[in-house]
Amino acid sequence: MPTKLIINCETGEQTEVELTDEEVAQREADAAAYAAQKAEQEAAATAKAAAKASAQAKLAALGLSAEEIAAL
Amino acid sequence: MANTFTLISSVTVGSGGTASITFSAIPQTYTDLKIVLSARLSANGDTFGNTKISFNGIPAGTVYSAKNIRGDGSAVASNNFTSQDSIPNNYSAVGSTSTASTFNNTEIYIPNYTSTSAAKSLSIDNVTENNATEAWATLYAGLWNPASQGAITSIVLTSNYSASELYAQYTTAYLYGIKNS
């Protein structure tokens, strides 16, 4: 069973305590929530990059140079 | 400008690793707190991981919010977090596939932590280390705003990238108290 480390700042005592079943379940839920959040963020970043590339291609098709597009 | 930094407590993770680090019974005799964390995560299968930050116990309700800006060696991005159960502080720790024996640098600054009437803000500065293109620099601004305000008496640092990962051996955390900031 994984442990957690607790440092009492008043006494300086450091204790290592095994996680409870409830805490392990919470870690699993947190990890699942983070995975979903990360996937959402990555999808948003991918969509934004694709939109940027599409916009740059359209500007280039209108005759703007790469330097002009970069200056926008 | 702060003129005193006093080490309140520090810890070095042992050979078995640990799932979280808690500073409890924090003295209420300073104006600000600063945590300096050097962390590596085991068994998460990526170049980076997270260090969630929460105050006065876990879970403390969805009363945290944050914004970040980050870069990974090839791109930059930012995210907005509302109604969180902790400050997420993603992309902050060195993950298990980064160069062996490397650790991240994280500084967490918490002003006015003894207030019993005001929400608590914090700022976080993270950099990871990796002998490859992908390494992360991440800045956070965060807020803890519970319905009933209280002084910060404990701080929990924990990772949530995967349930099996642990803070690896030699991860260190230092808690400083600051007066006259």
Q: Confirm whether B22 is domain-assigned.
A: yes
> How do the domains of chain A map onto residue ranges?
3-71
Whether residues A9 and B162 touch (CB distance < 8 A) is answered with: no
Q: CA of B74 to nearest chain A CA: how many angstroms apart?
A: 12
pLDDT single digits (tens) B57-98: 855 578 999 999 999 888 888 889 999 989 988 888 888 888
Q: How many angstroms away from the CA of B24 is the closest CA of chain A?
A: 5
State the residue range of the domain holding B107.
Answer: 4-176
Of A3, A6, A16, which is closest to B24 when you measure between CB atoms? Answer: A6
pLDDT tens track for B115-174: 999 999 999 999 998 888 888 899 999 999 998 899 999 999 998 778 788 999 999 999
Q: Domain for residue B111, yes or no?
A: yes
Q: Cβ of B160 under 8 Å from any chain A Cβ? A: yes
Yes or no, beta carbons of A9 and B27 under 8 Å apart: yes
Per-residue pLDDT of chain A (72 residues; tens, 9 = 90+): 889 999 999 999 999 999 999 989 988 888 888 888 888 888 888 898 899 999 999 999 999 999 999 998
Number of domains in chain B: 1
Q: What is the 3-state secondary structure (H, E, C) of chain B?
A: CCCEEEEEEEEECCCCCECEEEEECCCCCCCEEEEEEECEEECCCCCEECCEEEECCCCCCCCEEEEEEEECCCCEEEEEEEEECCECCCCCEECCCCCCCCCCEEEEEEECCCCCCCCEEEEEEEECCCCCCCCCEEEEEEEECCCCCCCCCCEEEECCCCCCCEECCCCEEEEEEEECC
The average pLDDT across B39-60 equals 84
Please determine, for residue B2, whether its predicted confidence score (pLDDT) is greater than 70.
no
User: Which residue in A8, A14, A27 is closest to B19 by CB distance?
Assistant: A27
